[in-house]
A and B are shown apart, each in its own frame.
Chain A
Amino acid sequence: MSKPSDLVQGTLDLLLLKILALEPMNGYAISLRLKQVSGEVLQVSDGSLYPALHKLEQEGWITAEWRPTENNRRAKFYSLTRLGIKQLEKESANWGRLSAAISNIVKLKEA
């Protein structure tokens, strides 16, 4: 089981923001989506998902709303705030720089 601490620091935030940027979702749907899009490479335990979501909410990046699901149960749906959109842009850019830098290093030919 892979824990968020095994992810590159701050990556979970970026993933969650990105997923929520596509459409508002509840926690369960987010966990499915994470698995689905990363091809089960990135596994986040359910127990760590919620604290991460709550942290983003407390930062003011995402906001939550109670809505009925398709099968008519109440669930907490998260969506991005305007601050969250900005944060996503910032973190995407950071990620781009970081991954580019790392792959450059990795590609270095050994002399």
Chain B
Amino acid sequence: MPLKHWFYTLPLRLRSLFRRDHVEQDLSEELQFHLDQKIREYLAAGLSSDEARRKACREFGGLELSKENCRDTRRVNYIQDLLQDLRFGLRMLGKSPGFTFIAVLTLALGIGANTAIFSMVNSFLLKPLPVRDPEQITTLAFQLKKGPLLTGFSVPELEDLQAQTTSVFSDVIGDLFGAGGLTVNGKTEPVYVYFVTGNYFTALDIKPHLGRFILPSEGSPTALSPVIVLGYNYWKTRFAGDPSVVGKTIAFDGHPVTVIGVAPKEFHGLLSMADMQGYMPLSMEQVDSAYDRTTPVNRELRSVFVYARLLPGVHFKTAQSALDVIASRLAAQNPKSEEGMTLGVYAERFSRPDPDPDRTILKIATLFLILAGLVLILACVNVANFLLVRATARQREMAIRTALGGTRGRLIRQLLTESIVLALCGGICGVLLGLAGSRALSSIRLHTTLPVLIEFQFDWRVFGYALVVALLTGLIVGTVPALRASGRNMIEVIREGGRSISGSRSRLRSALVVIQVGGSLMLLIVAGLMVRSLNYAQRSDLGFDPRNVLNLTLDPNGIGYDKSKGLQFYKELLERIDTLPGVESASAAFTVPFGYFNDFDLLEVPGYEVPQGTAVPSAGFNAVSPGYFRTLRIPLLEGRDFTDADQEDSQWVAIINEAMAKRFWPKESALGHEFRAVGDRAHLLRVVGVVKNSKTNSMIGVVREYFYVPFAQQYSSLATVQVRTTFPPETLVTSIREQVTALAPMMPISEVRPMLQALYTVNGLLLFQFAAGLTGCLGLLGLILALVGVFGVISFAVSQRTQEIGIRMAMGAGQSSILKMILRQGILIIFAGLAAGVVLALGMASLVGDFVSGVSPYDPLTYFSVSTMLVLVALVACYVPARRATRVDPMIALRYE
């Protein structure tokens, strides 16, 4: 029925809308025909033509009224009214370009800041993986005896999970991050790949851009399948997007591999923020010269990230309870490796970059969205204030409209349409600003050559968000002025002559400015706290000396060097660098402090009883060459440094940090004691030295247990050579590069930068810098908006009181008393705002407190200095218009209308 209904009525509606003149003509003609017939009738009855016409018209009633009633039946009035309002709104905006420009710019800044930050939140939290049914993808993680939440599983554990979870998961897949060298046409470059299980691509169910993906039959962890799928962006840059590369053989770590396909453009691997350059079967991990032969069977060599696809209709809770059963079964079967294991399943979307029960990313996102929202509110308040001023100026217009029969609802609708038009213009400009802002945000330098993907793309979510924000903004800024403008008694307004302003109105405007001052103060306090936190982190004692150290990362495996050749290479290279002028010392290490690679393992310490209720002991570790502590200036407290005598076949040794020594051997010297890392139970590590605590991957918090092993005993091909220089480290780059190429011409070199710069990583200072920068920008934006507000309200007050000021001056008031009078109003607003801002900031403190370090979120110094600054700047904003008031010429002012 409704469908059939539309069949008849839709053409009519469309005709009414788009062929309005035709419809109108039809209407006139129809009614005219009626009248003419009537006139004929009366003429025939013998009336004179004049009488006939008059009688016909009288009987008809009001012709125009009838027409209007006919029009009302068309049911497109609201659309026509809307179009009319839109046209009118645009005309009004066009008539005052100054106002329009400022208002649109203000809204654009607010909406732009929100859009930019939302685009970031979108890519971190909302954007689904570009795979089939992304909501089914989950991330698995586990804990051992309430230890840290771990995401790296061992290969046997992965296989157990695959075999035992078929009732809840359709697929369990794994990937393992790997670095290597890819040789194409005789040139080797570092490459970052995922070693993936054979079911990886079938489970994700995506289509390759070219060729094919890795097959389940190629997934054995032992049988070598020398194939590689290239990442789209890598294929575009390294192979210039050449489709004929599929089928070709290239070399990975010196081993021939066949390119079988190219991944689709939008797929970058499952790790968020990474843009994987290639995908190879899990077995290809073996070509790494540091590969541990026990990997396929060692339950404690854990480095595979595991994801699972939920079976259709299976809920998280069901999957979780299935995993609970499996965890206790695994723990019972393998008491040595999996005792006290608990497994957890997390939605992939909330596991970026890692599963995090604390939802830290969500908290950060909330904080920034609140701050950006506040900026938007400040912008709204400014525009609402402008509109209130305009509403005053347009009182007569509104009164006349009312007098002509405009209902209040109709007037409100028209005014709201105007403000929404304004907000939409602001929204369009805001999206453009937001694009620029998000480009600036994503150009943040991560100080790594890792293939990091920070793309804050503008997809429909971001545009939708901007649209909703703009519409809301229009409603918010328009409602109060519209209600006020339409609600006044027209007779009163016309009599007033649009000259006076009622007290309540200016109180409302002042109250709005108070909100602005308060909001901007809060933004500035948060920014101040973030800056202080950054300063604190920058100045904090790292435990090592990052100045005058140059880093460069090498990977001899990338050009096919085996372990002994690689060790030899590093040894010779360090010796050569040591002899260069300006070099104090040189060493090699698997990872640098705050780098993107971190080794970590659970510990077994003979003679150490894990206290009841505490987590299983664990520690981070690093493989370093002799001289490492000298190069980084980490003081050796006890024992000895590593030497060339610490070889693979000699006693395995370790140097531990103070924290570790204190935890396990609190009452005696740690020297001579032994412990194991569970990933390698075959070797008992003997403590030969204790070094001072130094920060390794967190700027904040206490330094945790950490140990170092000799590079020769736990070789890693991918390693960073660090050189302490007496000259500025940048000046030595060329000569050190020359030494590398002299030894191995093909050697890929990456991550060449001074250690001071290398501190600005995600683990290091980057987030502090980012937070300080972003909140600083938002604070500045808020400050500008508040100043515009203060300036605007005082200027307006001055202009409204020109006559009064003129009279006062004519009566003998001095300039200073006029100045005082105007400033008093401003000062009241500023201090009320100050109080509001402090209250707001205190309210936010607990949320902010999670993200600052070294400074209390209630830090009185920050509150005081930021407030003082704001007061000074705001006073200037008041002083300018107040000063103008004192220049009023009484004669002109009195004549002023």
Contact = CB atoms under 8 A, between A and B. Distances in A.
Interface of A: 26-28, 31, 45-48, 50-51, 54-55, 57-60, 63, 66, 73-76, 81-83
A50 B61 contact: no
Given A26-B33, A58-B73, A74-B29, A47 B65 contact: yes
B62 A73 contact: no
10 contacts: A27-B30, A27-B33, A28-B38, A47-B60, A48-B61, A50-B69, A51-B72, A60-B12, A66-B26, A81-B8
Contacts of B37: 28
Q: Which of A26, A45, A55, A60 has the most CB of B within 10 A?
A: A60
Given A46-B61, A54-B74, A60 B5 contact: yes
Contacts of A45: 59-61
Interface string B17-60: 00000000010011101101110000000000000000000011
B95 interface: no
A28 B29 CA distance: 12
Contacts of A54: 70, 73-74
Contacts of B735: none
B606 to A, nearest CB: 90
Given A46-B60, A51-B72, A54-B70, 8 more contacts: A46-B61, A47-B63, A47-B66, A51-B73, A58-B9, A58-B75, A63-B8, A73-B33
B293 interface: no
Contacts of A28: 33-34, 37-38
A50 B38 contact: no
Determine chain B's interface SS by DSSP, over half rule: helix
Determine chain A's interface SS by DSSP, over half rule: helix
B50 to A, nearest CB: 19
A31 B56 CA distance: 13
A32 to B, nearest CB: 9
Chain B interface residue bracket vs A: 20 to 34
A47 B60 CA distance: 5
B33 A83 contact: no
A76 B5 contact: no
Nearest to B36: A73
A50 B72 contact: no
Nearest to A75: B33
Contacts of A27: 30, 33-34
B539 interface: no
A66 B61 CA distance: 24
A46 B5 CA distance: 28
5 closest cross-chain pairs (CB), A and B: A47-B61, A60-B8, A51-B69, A47-B66, A28-B37
Contact of A50 (B5, B8, B12, B30): B30
Contacts of A31: 34
B118 to A, nearest CB: 43
A82 to B, nearest CB: 8
Contacts of B12: 57-58, 60
B4 interface: yes
A51 B8 contact: no
A36 to B, nearest CB: 13
B45 to A, nearest CB: 14
